[in-house]
Amino acid sequence: MNLVLFGPPGSGKGTQAKILEEKRHLPQLSTGEMLRAAVAAGSPLGKKVEAVLAKGDLVPDETVIAIIAERYDQPDCAKGAIFDGFPRTIPQAEALDAMLAARKKKIDIVIELKVDDAILVKRAETRAAETVAAGGKPRPDDNPETVKRRLAIYYENTAPLIDYYKKQGKLATVNGMASIDEVTKAIAAILDMAGRKGCLGL
Ligand code: AMP
pLDDT at residue 197, rounded to an integer: 80
Kindly tell me if the per-residue pLDDT of 201 is higher than 70. Answer: no
Cα separation values, 199 from 99, 106, 138, 169, 196, Å: 20, 11, 39, 11, 8
Q: How long is the chain?
A: 202
Q: Which residues contact 155 (CB under 8 A, 6 or more apart)?
A: none
Atom of ligand 1 nearest to the CA of 31: 16
Q: What beta strand segments (E) does 94-187 contain? A: 109-114, 171-175
DSSP H/E element including 79: none
77-134 per-position pLDDT tens digit:
999 999 999 999 999 999 999 999 999 999 999 999 999 999 998 988 898 889 999 9
DSSP H/E element including 3: strand 2-6
Using DSSP bridges, classify how beta strands 109-114 and 28-30 pair: parallel, antiparallel or unpaired. unpaired
56-71 per-position pLDDT tens digit:
999 999 999 999 999 9
Cα separation values, 28 from 71, 118, 130, 194, Å: 10, 27, 24, 20
Position 24, amino acid: R
Position 125, amino acid: E
pLDDT at residue 49, rounded to an integer: 97
Mean pLDDT across the chain: 94
DSSP H/E element including 27: none
The highest-level CATH class for domain 2-26+79-196 is alpha beta
Out of 114, 139, 148, 149, the active site residue is 139
Mutational pocket test of ligand 1: of 36, 45, 59, the residue with most ligand atoms within 8 Å of the beta carbon: 59
139 vs 165, which has greater pLDDT? 165
Atom of ligand 1 nearest to the CA of 52: 12
Look up the pTM and report it: 0.94
User: Domain-by-domain residue ranges, the chain?
Assistant: 2-26+79-196
Share of the chain above pLDDT 70, in %: 98
Kindly tell me if the per-residue pLDDT of 202 is higher than 70. Answer: no
CA–centroid distance, 196 to ligand 1, in Å, is: 33
Q: What residues does ligand 1 touch, defined as CB less than 6 Å away?
A: 9, 31-32, 35, 52-53, 56-59, 64, 85-86, 88, 92, 141, 150
CA–centroid distance, 11 to ligand 1, in Å, is: 14
CA–centroid distance, 146 to ligand 1, in Å, is: 13
Cα 189 to chain centroid, rounded: 20
Residue in 48, 37, 78 with CA at minimum distance from that of residue 201: 78
| Cβ proximity of 115 and 176 under 8 Å | yes
pLDDT at residue 46, rounded to an integer: 97
